[in-house]
Amino acid sequence: MGENVIDIKLEGVAHGGEAFGWHEGKITFVAYAIPGERVRAEVVQDKKNWARAKLLEILEPSPDRVEPRCVHFGIGKCGGCHWQHISYRKQLELKREIVSEQLRRIGHIEDPPVEAVEQVGPPWNYRNNARFSVTRDGSIGFRKGQSHEVVRIDECHLLHPRINELLRSFELSWPNLRGVKIRHGVNTDEDMVVIETDGKEQPEISVDLPISIVLQAGRDFVPLIGLPYIHEEVNGIRYRISAGSFFQSNTPGAERLVKLVEEFLEPKPGQTVLDGYAGVGLFSLPLVQSSGQVISIEENPWATEDLAQTAEEMGVDNLSLFEGPVEEVVRAMDQRVDAAVVDPPRSGMGKNVPGDLARLGVRNLVYVSCDPATMARDSGNLRSAGFELVRVRPLDMFPQTFHIESVSLWQRRG
Ligand SMILES: C[S@@+](CC[C@H](N)C(=O)[O-])C[C@H]1O[C@@H](n2cnc3c(N)ncnc32)[C@H](O)[C@@H]1O
């Protein structure tokens, strides 16, 4: 065995998807391995407190090891998926373990009430949007794991079949091309392609498909063909989504997310509910029907415009919309709020937000998270503001990857 080649038994899974075990007393991470396996691996990073090793051979395979579906999956290949080699049942188990471990270790919550991970739809072909990078020879693909290199992709098994179809139908080769985003309305059949450029020159484009094409240079979006937005329908509400707005990438997941937020929040007629980091109003628009008044806060101007437009089309008259950072808006507010839902970006929620929500009178707070590590970090500020964690339900919005969505309920008593 070479000096850096080790034989290691893997004992757990880390946030980030790697399995880990101990070699000569040091925690060592091995990607593409599964807890319970014994593997031969080569140490490629050796730090004071941890090491990382590259999988060479599986000596004792896990009963949960399965054949990956995609030819682009694996060491040194496409970095979009991390867990195609793990049975779907085991993926769900591992995600629950990760959420619990993050809340224990980072959030200092001894016995976090983490429920079983819920499957929200099919574990393949679920993504309604994708961003592709551009290879040196001008074709489009995904980035390799931990690298800037781009792997050409003919078909991605996570994407909705319509996005694969559009991907195959393009011939995009143009020196100023920086990336391509494709978004599909799964329940509306509307499509939008966003072409990212360096802004120097406009491409000539002709298409014979009924799709929207938008040119993006930095934060400017110019419609080239059709409208600069599409719609997606979730639980009977038809949301407008502009090229620059966020929308959940798993449509059945979004349907379940909305239901779960309502179930956890238990809004009552007459109550005022705040929706922080509201996007195009995924939660605000159902909440106007089940509560008295909704206050939506979102800093992205395209998303606020989408939300305002959809609310107007629905004839909503009990929604107040603030465009700006949640942190500043809640700091300046003095109106009573009964309940709140927050769904911050991966970086998490502003430090002052829990304290300000408590000051406004919030008792039930639902925290929707796409990153258990930042949720665990934010739990410190929530607890300092008097909120106690009641339950956490992880949802599998991102099968075959280590990414985890979760909905948690926090209550303030007294
Ligand atoms: C994870 S998305 C959630 C959106 C929406 N709840 C949904 O599910 O579609 C987070 C949203 O927060 C917005 N955002 C990010 N930082 C913000 C901030 N400091 N204040 C207000 N909005 C912010 C982003 O533009 C994005 O729309």
Closest protein CA for atom 6 of ligand 1: 278
Residue 144 lies in a domain: yes
d(CA 408, CA 414): 20
DSSP-based three-state secondary structure for 323: strand
Residue-wise pLDDT tens digits, 119-158: 999 999 999 999 988 877 777 788 887 778 888 888 999 9
Tell me how crowded residue 288 is: count the other CB atoms within 10 A of its CB. 22
Residues 340, 275 contacting (CB under 8 angstroms): yes
- Residue closest via CA to ligand 1's atom 15 equals 345
Q: Would the CB of 395 count as within 6 Å of ligand 1?
A: no
* 271 & 392 share domain: yes
Please state, in angstroms and rounded to a whole number, the distance separating the CA atoms of residues 294 and 399.
32
Q: Are residues 58 and 163 in the same domain?
A: no
C-alpha to C-alpha distance for 95 and 395, rounded to whole angstroms: 9
- Residue numbers of the domain that contains 401: 96-121+250-412
Nearest residue by C-alpha to atom 26 in ligand 1: 279
Q: CATH number, domain at 41?
A: 2.40.50.140
CA–centroid distance, residue 341 to ligand 1 (Å): 12
Query: Which residue spans within 108-253 are E strands per DSSP?
Result: 118-119, 129-134, 140-143, 150-152, 177-184, 191-197, 212-217, 220-225, 229-234, 237-242
Is residue 270 situated within a structural domain?
yes
Ligand 1 atom at shortest distance from the alpha carbon of 283 = 6
Domain stop point among 204, 231, 258: 231
The whole model's pTM is what? 0.96
CA-297 nearest atom, ligand 1: 21
* Catalytic residue check, 81: no
Does the structure show a pLDDT above 90 at 198? no
pLDDT in tens, 223-270: 989 999 999 999 999 999 999 999 999 999 999 999 999 999 999 999
Ligand 1 center to 349 CA (angstroms): 10
Average pLDDT over residues 81-93: 98
pLDDT in the model for residue 176: 77
Q: Which value, in Å, is the radius of gyration of the alpha carbons in the chain? A: 23
Q: Work out the pLDDT band at 173, boundaries 50, 70, 90.
A: low
Any atom of ligand 1 within 6 Å of the Cβ of 68 = no
Ligand 1 midpoint to CA 106 (Å): 23
CATH number at residue 339: 3.40.50.150
Closest ligand 1 atom to the C-alpha of 277?
Answer: 12
What confidence score (pLDDT) does residue 172 get?
Answer: 67
